[in-house]
Structures are given as structure tokens and as C-alpha cells.
Amino acid sequence: MTNLLQTLTQMLAYPFMVNALEAGTIVAIVSGLIGWFMVLRRQSFAGHALAVVGFPGAAGATLLGVGAAYGYFTFCLAAALVIALLPRAGGSGRTDESAVTGTVQALALACGFLFVSLYHGFLNGIDALLFGSFVGISQGQVTALLVVGACVLVTLALIGRPLLFSSVDPEVAAAGNVPVRALSFVFLLLLGAAVAEASQITGTLLVFALLVAPAAIAQTVTSRPSVGLLLSPIIALIVTWGGLTLAYFWPYPIGFFVTSLAFGGYVAARVAAGLVRRRSKSAW
Amino acid sequence: MTAVQSLSGIVSSLAAHPFLANAVFAGTAVALAAGVTGYFLVLRGQVFTGDALGHVAFTGAAAALAIGLDLRVGLFVATIGAGVLIGLLGSKGRSDDVVIGNVLAWVLGLGVFFLTLYITSLSAGNGTAGVTVLFGSIFGLSQGQAWTAAAVGGGVVIAMLLIARPLLFATVDETVAASLGVPVRMLGVVFLALVGVATAEATQAVGALLLLGLLAAPAGAAQRLTARPYVGLALSGALAVFAMWAGLALSYAVPVLPPSFSIIAVAAAVYAVAFVVTAARRTEAAASPGRARSEGE
């Protein structure tokens, strides 16, 4: 026990580890809450698209010499705006929607790859952009994450009730004079900011580990919004802290630990829910 | 005259640079296979299955490298296995996007783990192997690899042509096809296995993350341009090959552009042109009275 405590204090003696834990905590709380609404509203693929677009943003920002964080925020928010505005402009919702999504996704990743290869000597950094890294987080980055995260959470607190209403039953909400359109617009922007934050810890390709899995676990365990909204960020925190600790002790990338913890938790929750359901069925 | 000159220029540069000849040779077969299988993927609404196979390809390749096997063994085993598995689970277990998202994120996480295992276990290991698998290196193909890619790509195209007729029937109207004795389920599995083969080959050319563009863009463009299935199938393959050739030429002319980027950029541009052209045609048709369709959402 003292041994464990010792290793923990040893880990916290490194400033980079403290920064990583602070950043991870902020990101986990934001993604846990926003992710809960995202899963409820069935917008996971929008979240995925935003994350993919973040990659050329981050690579381009690195190429230009500004921090990757700016690239993430600019591109994710811009993409959120585009997605929010698109359905009204388009209108021809046929099966080719998936072909468009696939093409845009591949093009975004290709552009990111182009920027990375234009920036010579950055080929190891590409793994960090795609699969996450926790060693290079500066104090300034933590502050930026905190400010953006606080803005996201304040907005979410303000629109939380009507957003929940309009997510559960958009038609009734619209009939009750809830501005459903405006809410979904604002939510996509919040989602863009949350994705940009999560990308900086888990990397572009693995944001689902923090955005989807904790929320999905929470919604498997409970259908009550108040409990779920509490549970989802807590699970995200456990996943992040666990991932950071494991990545500190073993030489494998944090993305692997975070996704494995999240996926393991999801499978466990589904199995447990299935067992409970079967038992209650046999009790009847 | 200039066309002949530029053609002879191309031929002589192909002869002078074996890596370019290998790339064109392998690329043509890969693009043709991707265009033909992609057409059915789009038609059957299974584009995201192609995406999933790309993810699996990365993990399979990384796992093969980690245990010291040839990268291609892992590619083919993983993508064909995953294709058959998805085909067998099929429409019965239509899982939602949350499940897919969780599984795909974990598959990629696992891939990163294998990759790290590979890089750290071989001190002299190839540190850029991950980048190669994710984004391809078509200019790095050896002659033997190019021949294999061409043979496999050709095989996929021939197999697709053999099953095209019943597969089309099963795609357009599954219940009628099944009642007439078409083995719908079997066809779906065989098709996804072929997609797996095409994916594994395409991974070596444009990479696991970008092959989705080669599957989706030419097929999407062909589908917008024509409603006739066989014309569309041929068009999709032709557009994919065009994207491959134009992309390779672009990267050869402008060496800073990586070939996988150029290929995907051309494919996306082709799709964008098809989109704009057909959209203009549609608004023209809609402008004629009686066809004003305004869906609010």
C-alpha cells in the first residue's frame, strides 16, 4: 500500500505528468457530459467526422508553426458550423450521403498527411496526432483547455434542460415552443469544441474512447438523465486517469490503454445489463 | 502531335523509372478492384463497412509485423476474416453506431499497441511502418509486390464480374431474389470477402485510412451520373483508374505531393464535379413546374 502511494507520489513529481493529469481531467469531464448528449441524440458519426477534420487542422497548424491546439479548435468548430448549416442547403438526402461522408473523410485525412509530409522530420509526430500523446502538454495548453472547457460547460448548463427535452422528443419540444433548430446548432458547436479538446489527449482516431464509450456505458446502466449525466463524466475520468497511469508505467501508447479501458467497460456494462434483464425476466 | 509526344514521354519515363512502372501497374489493378467493389458498397449502403475494413487492415498489418510475419499476411487474414464476419452477422444484428464506434476505436487502439510492440522489439525496426500502413507507399512497391497486387486485383475484378448479376438482383430487391432461389446471404458474404481482398491490396497502395476515398468517391460519382447499373459499374471502375493515373502523374510531376494524397484528391475532385453537374441538372428539372419538392428537414 505504501509502495503504491510511493509510486503515485513519484509519478506526480514530474511536472509533465501533473499537466497531463490536469488536462486529462478537464477533457474527461467535458467529453463525458457532451458525449452523453451526443449518444442520446445519435450523432456519433457527426462526432467522428469532426474528429477526422481536426487532423488536417492540427497538422496544418504545426506546419505553419502555431500550436496544434489552434488547428484542432479552428477546424473542428468550422466543420461543426458546416455540418450544422448543411442539411438546410442540401435537401437531396439520398443514399449518396454515405459516399459523400466517406469521400470527405478520406480527403481530410489525405490533406493531413500532405501537411505532415510537407513538414519534414515530423513523421513521428503523426502518431501523436492520430493516436494521442500525453508527454508534451504545456501549462499554457492546460489553461486553454480549461477556458474552452469552462465555456462549453456554462453553455451546456444554460441550454441543458431544453436540449434534453428536444433530444428526447423533438416534435413535442417544437410544439412547446422550444427552439429545436437553434439548440441543435449550438449543440454541434459545443460538440466541435469537445472533440477538439478530446483529440489533444486521445488523438484524432480515438476520440470515441472518451466521447462515446463513457456515455454509452452510462446509458446502458441507467436511463435517468440526472444519474447518467453524473456517471458519464465519472467513467470518463476513470478511463483517462487509468490510461495515463498505465501509460506512465508501460511503454505503450496512451491511446491503446484508453480505448481498451473504455471498450472493456462498455462490454462489461452490456453483459451486466443483459444478466440483470434476464434475471428480472425469470423472476416475473 | 503533342499528345503523341507526351505519350512517348510518359512511356520513356515509365521505362526509365521502374518504381513508377510498378506503381502504375499495381495501381491500375488496385483502382479497378476498388472501383468495382466500391460501386456495390455504395449501392448496398455499406460504405461504412469499407471504413471498418480499413481500420481492421491497419490492426492486422501491425499484428503481423509484431509477431514477425509478412505484413501482407496480416492484411489479408484480417480484412477477409472481418469481411466474412460482418457478412455473417449481417443485417440480422444491425448494430447501432455506438457499438460500431466503440469497436472501431478499440481496434485502432489495438493496432497502435501492436505497432509499438513491433517498433520497440526490433531496435533496428522500421519506425515508419505505421505511417506506411496508414497512408500507403505506392512508389515503394517492388516488382514482385506489383505483380502480386495486379494478380490479386485482377482476380477480384473477375470474381466480381462473375457474381455481378445475381448480386445486383439481391441488392435491388432482396426478398424477390431470395424467393426466386438466389442465395442472397451467401452472396453477401462472398461480396464482403472480395471487398476484404480489395481493401488489403488498396492498403498497400493508398493506405488503410485513405482507401475509403478510393472505394467511395468513384462509386458515388458513377452513381450520380447514371442510374443504369452496368454502365455505372464500368464507369466507377474507369473513374477509379483515372484517379489513380492522374494522381500518380501529379505526384511524379510535383514530388512534394505524396501519391496517396494526389490519388484521393483527384478522386474527390471527380466526385465533386459529378456532384455539381448532376445538381445543376436536377435544379433545372426542378425548375420546370410541378416538381417543387421542399422537405423542411
How high is the mean pLDDT of chain B?
84
Average pLDDT over residues A98-127: 80
- Of A186-190, B169-173, B271-275, least confident by mean pLDDT is B169-173
Put simply, the answer to whether B279 touches A110 (Cβ < 8 Å) is no
Looking at the domain assignment, is residue B180 inside a domain?
yes
> What is the pLDDT at residue A90?
42
Distance CA B234, CA A44 (A): 34
A97 touches chain B (CB under 8 A): no
Q: What is the CA radius of gyration of chain A?
A: 20
Residue A247 has pLDDT above 80, yes or no: yes
- Do residues B233 and B39 lie in contact, with contact meaning Cβ atoms separated by under 8 Å? yes
Q: Looking at the predicted structure, is the pLDDT value of residue B94 above 60? A: no
User: Please, which residues 130-189 of chain A have a Cβ atom closer than 8 Å to chain B?
Assistant: 130-131
Asked if residue A263 lies in contact with residue B103, where contact means CB atoms within 8 angstroms, the answer is yes
- pLDDT at position A134 over 80: no
Whether residue B10 is contained in a domain is answered as no
Average pLDDT over residues A154-180: 88
Q: Mind listing the pLDDT tens digit for each residue in B160-207? A: 999 999 999 888 888 888 888 888 888 889 999 999 999 998 988 888
**Is the Cβ pair A259, B217 closer than 8 Å?**
no
| pLDDT score of A122 | 56
Confidence of residue A86 (pLDDT cuts 50, 70, 90): low
DSSP state of B92: T
- Counting residues of chain B whose pLDDT is more than 70, the rounded percentage is 87
**Total of domains in chain B:** 1
CB A26 within 8 A of CB A145: yes
Residues of A with Cβ-Cβ distance to B282 under 8 angstroms:
92
Stated length of chain B: 297
CB contact under 8 Å between B106 and A44, yes or no, is no
For B138, which DSSP code? Answer: G
pLDDT at A149 over 80: yes
Task: Give the range of the structural domain holding residue A195, as residue numbers without chain letter.
Answer: 2-283
Which of A100, A114, A253 minimises the CB distance to B258?
A114
Predicted confidence at residue B296, as pLDDT, reads: 37
Query: Which has the minimum average pLDDT: A267-276, B30-39, B114-123?
Result: B114-123
- Select from B102, B235, B281 the residue whose CB has the most chain A CBs within 10 Å, as the one to mutate to test that interface: B102
CB contact under 8 A, A213 and B102: yes
Residues of A in contact with B275 (CB under 8 A): 100
Residue B1 lies in a domain: no
Closest partner CB to B265 (pick from A110, A127, A259): A110
Average pLDDT over residues A196-217: 87
Q: What is the pLDDT of residue B145?
A: 86
Q: Could you list the residue range(s) of the whole structural domain that residue B69 is in?
A: 19-275
Average pLDDT over residues A123-131: 73
Question: Is the minimum CB–CB distance between A124 and chain B shorter than 8 Å?
Answer: yes
> Which residue of chain A comes nearest to B258, CA vs CA?
A114
Contacts of B134 in chain A (CB under 8 A): 130
Residue B182, min C-alpha distance to chain A (Å): 24
Interface mutation target, options B119, B121, B206, B209, chain A, most CBs of A under 10 Å: B209
**If you average pLDDT over residues A64-74, what whole number do you get?**
85
Instruction: Answer yes or no: is pLDDT of B126 > 80.
Output: no
Instruction: Provide the pLDDT confidence category of residue B52 given band limits of 50, 70 and 90.
Output: confident
pLDDT of residue A52: 87
Q: Is A124 in contact with B97 (Cβ distance < 8 A)?
A: no
Q: What is the pLDDT of residue B234?
A: 95
Structure confidence at residue A91 (pLDDT): 41
User: Are A110 and B210 in contact (CB < 8 Å)?
Assistant: yes
Chain B CB contacts of A95 under 8 Å are 42-43, 45, 223
A263/A253 Cα distance (integer angstroms): 16
| Per-residue pLDDT at B68 exceeds 90 | no
Residue contacts between A and B (CB atoms, under 8 Å): 169
Residues of A in contact with B97 (CB under 8 A): 42, 44-45
CA distance A54 to chain B (A): 15
Grid cell, residue B252, equals 511524379
| Residue A71, pLDDT above cutoff 70 | yes
The per-residue pLDDT for B209 is 85
B5: its cell numbers: 509526344
Q: Is the pLDDT of residue A197 over 80?
A: yes
C-alpha–C-alpha distance, residues B297 and A14, integer Å: 52
DSSP string, chain A: -HHHHHHHHHHHTSHHHHHHHHHHHHHHHHHHHHHHHHHHTT-HHHHHHHHHHHHHHHHHHHHHTS-HHHHHHHHHHHHHHHHHHHHHHH---STHHHHHHHHHHHHHHHHHHHHHHHSTT-TTHHHHHHH---TT--HHHHHHHHHHHHHHHHHHHHHHHHHHHHHH-HHHHHHTT--HHHHHHHHHHHHHHHHHHHHHHH-GGGTHHHHTHHHHHHHHH---HHHHHHHHHHHHHHHHHHHHHHHHHSSS-HHHHHHHHHHHHHHHHHHHHHHHHHHHHHH-
Cβ atoms within 10 Å, residue B58? 27
- The answer to whether the CB of A112 falls within 8 A of the CB of B262 is no
CA of B274, closest CA in chain A: separation in Å? 12
Report pLDDT for A3.
Answer: 76
C-beta separation of A108 from B268 below 8 A? no
Please compute the mean of the pLDDT values over residues A268-276 and round it to a whole number.
Answer: 89
The Cβ-side half-sphere exposure at B158, using a 13 Å CA radius, reads 6
Q: What percent of chain A is modeled with pLDDT above 70? A: 92
Asked if residue B257 belongs to a domain, the reply is yes
Nearest CA in chain A to B259: A114
CA-to-CA separations, A78 to A49, A58, B242, in angstroms, rounded: 12, 13, 32
Percentage of residues of chain B with pLDDT beyond 90: 33
CATH classification at residue A43:
1.10.3470.10
Answer yes or no: is B12 within a domain. Answer: no
For B24-43, the pLDDT digits (tens) are: 889 999 999 999 999 999 88
State the pLDDT at residue B140: 83
Q: Which three cell numbers stand for residue B274?
A: 459529378
Q: Are the C-beta atoms of residues B199 and B61 closer than 8 Å to each other?
A: no
B109/A206 touch (CB, cutoff 8 Å), yes or no: yes
State the total domains in chain A: 1
Average predicted confidence (pLDDT) for chain A: 85
Examine residue B7 and state whether it is found in any structural domain, yes or no. no
- The pLDDT, as a whole number, for residue B283 is 77
* Chain A residues within 8 A of B103 when measuring between CB atoms: 263
pLDDT band of B93, cuts 50, 70, 90: very low
pLDDT at B143 over 70: yes
What sign for the dihedral angle of Cα A96, A102, A103, A104?
positive
Q: Which CATH number is B66's domain given?
A: 1.10.3470
Of the candidates A95, A113, A207, the beta carbon closest to that of B260 is on A113
C-alpha cell at A114: 500532405
Q: Is the pLDDT of residue A121 over 70?
A: no
Q: Name the pLDDT band for B91 (thresholds 50, 70, 90).
A: low
Question: Tell me, what's the pLDDT at A117?
Answer: 83
Phi, then psi, of A42 in degrees rounded to 5: 55, 50
Above 90 in pLDDT, residue A92? no
Measured between CA atoms, how close is A209 to chain B, in angstroms?
6
Q: Evaluate whether residue B281 is within a structural domain.
A: no
pLDDT at B293: 44
Query: Which residues of chain A neighbour B42 with C-beta distances below 8 Å?
Result: 95-96, 98-99
B8 vs B132, higher pLDDT: B132
Average pLDDT over residues A217-228: 90
